[in-house]
Chains A and B, each alone.
Chain A
Amino acid sequence: NAGVTQTPKFQVLKTGQSMTLQCAQDMNHEYMSWYRQDPGMGLRLIHYSVGAGITDQGEVPNGYNVSRSTTEDFPLRLLSAAPSQTSVYFCASSPPHRGLEDGYTFGSGTRLTVV
Chain B
Amino acid sequence: ELKVEQNPLFLSMQEGKNYTIYCNYSTTSDRLYWYRQDPGKSLESLFVLLSNGAVKQEGRLMASLDTKARLSTLHITAAVHDLSATYFCAVTTGTASKLTFGTGTRLQVTL
- Which A residues are closer than 8 A to B by beta carbons? 31-33, 35, 40-45, 48-50, 58-59, 90, 92, 94, 96-97, 100-101, 103-104, 106-109
Contacts and interface: CB of A to CB of B under 8 A. Distances in A.
Interface residues of B, number: 24
B48 A101 contact: yes
A35 B42 CA distance: 12
B103 A103 contact: no
B30 A33 contact: no
Given A40-B103, A101-B48, A50 B42 contact: no
Contacts of A32: 97
Interface string B4-47: 10000100000000000000000000110100000001110100
Top 4 A-B residue pairs of the complex, sorted by shortest distance between their CB atoms: A31-B97, A42-B101, A97-B96, A42-B103
21 contacts: A33-B99, A35-B99, A40-B9, A40-B103, A42-B4, A43-B88, A43-B99, A48-B95, A48-B97, A48-B98, A50-B95, A58-B98, A96-B96, A97-B92, A97-B96, A100-B50, A101-B48, A103-B48, A104-B45, A104-B99, A106-B42
Contact of A42 (B33, B41, B88, B95): B88
Contacts of A109: 41-42
Interface string B75-109: 00000000000001010100111111111100000
A97 B31 contact: yes
Contact of B42 (A40, A48, A108): A108
Given A41-B103, A42-B101, A103 B96 contact: no
A107 B42 contact: yes
